Chains A and B, each alone.
Chain A
Amino acid sequence: MTRSASLRRSLRYLGRNKMLVIGCVMLVVPVVCALAAQWLAPNDPGAQTLIMRLKPPAWLGGDPRFLLGTDGLGRDILSRLIYGARVSLIVGLTVVAIGGTFGTLIGLVSGYVGGLFDAIVMRVVDVFLAFPFLVLALVVMALTGPGLGNVILVLGFTSWVPYARVARAKVLGLKEREFVEASQALAAGAWRVMLRHVLPNIFSSIIVIASSRVATAIVSEATLSFLGLGVGATTPSWGASLSDGRTYLLIAWWPATLPGLAIMVTVLAINLIGDGLRDRLDPRLKS
């Protein structure tokens, strides 16, 4: 098939897969915000204007300089939401990159090598599954202290389990297949067989998990920041903004409501993409 024909086919497919399209369109807003935050944000997200505290959104009688109003410290909510997209998407993508790479490799080796290594890995997986994951993340964050890097590391290294389980299960099915045996017969090394022949065949399952885990990571970061154990007070994270807004819930609805809407729209977009990709790449689950 020529490249243009395959492109046309993909586009036609995209037209049929409405969830994927709607998700991608919705995701454009946070992605653009994240990439162009310094040009889009009308104000400095950290600048406090104390005489402008808790101004309502502009159309409700607030100040036209602060389109979505200000928070309890007089900071511009719109600018904080725009910069917050950057935090959320960085966390979502890096956490999935760490957890996905780490988990897939472990699952791949565990399934392919088998034996004692596999048995040990499976017991470790059981232990990880035994911790409510948020509780584990909370404790580690409490001990390491807040910070974007810490959040990414903690969420990354607690999220490898689903990839490892799926990769292992798929490898167990694949390793008896002829093309794997053929390459082994041609004296290909274990790594070569795993990376060149097995990995490409499990990649679509990994992508399906990864897409939905981006959403999980974003919500987890927001939750940790909401509980005061996330990226730290100076970073304009949606979860942290929501936590600030909670203090003023009884007198002002906007500082707590708007960051939550931002999280919801972004996560919904990613979930739609995840569902769309699953229908496309893992048709067994297609209904």
Chain B
Amino acid sequence: MLTYALRRIGLAVPTLFGVLVTVFLLLRMLGDPAVMLIPPDTTITPEQLRDIRRSIGIDEPLPVQLWLFLTNAVRGDFGVSYYGGQDAMQSVVSRLGPTLELSLIALAFAVAVGVPLGIAAALRRNSLVDIGISAVSLLGMSMPNFWLGLMLILVFGVQLKWLPISGRGELQNLILPAFTLGASMVAIVQRLIRTDVLETLTQDFVRTARAKGAAPRAVVWHHTLKNALIPTVTVLGLQFGALLGGSVVVETVFAWPGVGRLMIQSISNRDYPVVQAAVVLFAVFFVAINLVVDIVYGFLDPRIRYD
């Protein structure tokens, strides 16, 4: 078990290295950071440009720059924001709380609603219940989350005036954004659980349990669900990444003060150090979550011992 965990951690290191190199190359490939530093509508002499290049270290050859970038990145140093001069990584980290709050509530909502619906649909396969649940899921999956958010604002904020439509603070502020973010994931979780339960029900050990006269309820709860939930755990880890991506949109719609909104603002301000720090933080987070999920998976299913 320990070897497996260590091996998995070992695999995450090159991934993180790759993430950093990609971010570096992406930003260098797509523009000269010195030019990006110059405020729009200002003229500048070649000497001044050279000075800027030297001051931010991009007069060096590319491999040297990459080395500098990596060594700084490992220390969490992604430069300072062009606006206000705050440490880039620090300003991103300070927004992490609201984003995690929103994502975790959305995840909890998705699991709390999606799992029972998935089980219900699988146990009553091809019934009206199953068809109804599956149809609603498909509809939920087909709805762009920013549109769902706007429609909720229209109905519950503008028409009924029940809930606030932007900002963070009270519990009521959390309801609409968390629902918006979680809705498509409810559908994904529901479909997944349904497939997994149906697949587990055809397994030999379930048939054996039935043959030995186990009560139908025990077959479902004890033999089927426990085993059907295992694959779901891994997908939930991957879905959390999609949730972080989705939070960018949902935070924008509901003016939620998280990392996603900071990123969109920084993109429109061309505040690249902050954008860079946010992308790296998202990626590190995502790698870490999947690492934990894989290790938990190894615990849940002792058969898993691949490479």
Contacts and interface: CB of A to CB of B under 8 A. Distances in A.
Q: Note whether A and B form a binding pair.
A: yes
B268 A228 contact: yes
Contact of A256 (B125, B141, B154, B267): B154
* Chain A: number of interface residues, binned into ranges: 35 or more
A271 B141 contact: yes
A116 B291 CA distance: 24
B144 A134 contact: no
B151 A123 contact: no
Interface in A230-267: 239, 242, 245-246, 249-250, 253, 256-257, 259-260, 263-264, 267
Interface in B241-288: 241-242, 244-246, 248-249, 252-253, 263-264, 267-268, 270, 275, 278-279, 282-283, 286-287
B287 A143 contact: no
A130 interface: yes
Given A133-B245, A143-B30, A249-B154, A126 B15 contact: yes
A219 interface: yes
A139 interface: yes
Nearest to A260: B147
Given A246-B150, A287-B198, A130 B26 contact: no
A147 B167 CA distance: 31
Contact of A272 (B138, B153, B279): B138
Given A140-B26, A227-B252, A271-B141, A127 B18 contact: yes
B69 interface: no
A138 interface: yes
A139 B11 contact: no
**Secondary structure at chain B's binding surface: helix, strand, loop or mixed?**
helix
Contacts of B238: 129
A135 B146 CA distance: 15
A226 interface: yes
17 contacts: A130-B15, A130-B241, A134-B248, A140-B30, A143-B31, A215-B142, A223-B146, A229-B267, A249-B150, A257-B154, A263-B144, A267-B143, A267-B144, A271-B142, A285-B195, A287-B125, A287-B194
Interface of B: 11, 14-16, 18-19, 22, 26-27, 30-31, 125, 138-139, 141-144, 146-147, 150-151, 153-154, 158, 194-195, 198, 238, 241-242, 244-246, 248-249, 252-253, 263-264, 267-268, 270, 275, 278-279, 282-283, 286-287, 290
Closest 8 CB pairs of A and B: A260-B147, A132-B245, A127-B18, A143-B30, A134-B245, A268-B142, A267-B142, A142-B267
